[in-house]
Every structure is written in C-alpha cells, then in structure tokens.
Amino acid sequence: MLKNYMEDVVAAVYNDYIKGRPEICACEQCGSDVMALALTKLRGLYAGSLQGEVLTKISREDRQVRADALIVIMQAVNTVTARPKH
C-alpha cells in the first residue's frame, strides 16, 4: 500500500504548533486547508513496501524534515488566516 508519510509529519507539527495559540482558528476546515497547502509545498515521503516504510519512518523523525514542515505550516497558517473559508 502506497502512503505519503509527510502527511503524518505535517499533522503532528501542525497540532504542536497550534497548541497554546488561541489566535489561530483550529476548526476542521482551517486545519485541513493549512495541511493541504503545506503538503503542496513539501516533498512527499512515500513508501510502498515494508522496507520503504521503515526508511520513511526514520526520515520523518529527522529534525530537518520537521523544521521544513514547521516553516511551511507557519506560512500556510498566515495564508489561511488572511482568507479563511469558513
């Protein structure tokens, strides 16, 4: 089964980022918009086999991968906050 593990990274980093920030709308629509926008800006971490899954899981814990995701998420939050769809 093919899976983009970057989705897991973006979801985890986004959830950590919005904690304690009441100024950021955390509704389902805004969250989905932020994550979708962020994922379009990041390289996917795809795996289609058990071996690939192990290597991808190691990659998604990399500090640089998470830092890159945070930067893109912060930009996406600014974009969505400026023009929310809810």
Cα torsion 22, 10, 38, 85 to 10°: value is -40
Per-residue pLDDT of the chain (86 residues; tens, 9 = 90+): 788 889 999 999 999 999 989 999 999 999 999 999 999 999 987 877 766 666 666 666 688 889 999 999 999 999 999 999 88
The reported pLDDT for the residue numbered 60 is 60
* pTM, entire model: 0.85
The reported pLDDT for the residue numbered 63 is 87
User: Vertex 24, ends 18 and 30: CA angle to 5°?
Assistant: 95
The reported pLDDT for the residue numbered 49 is 74
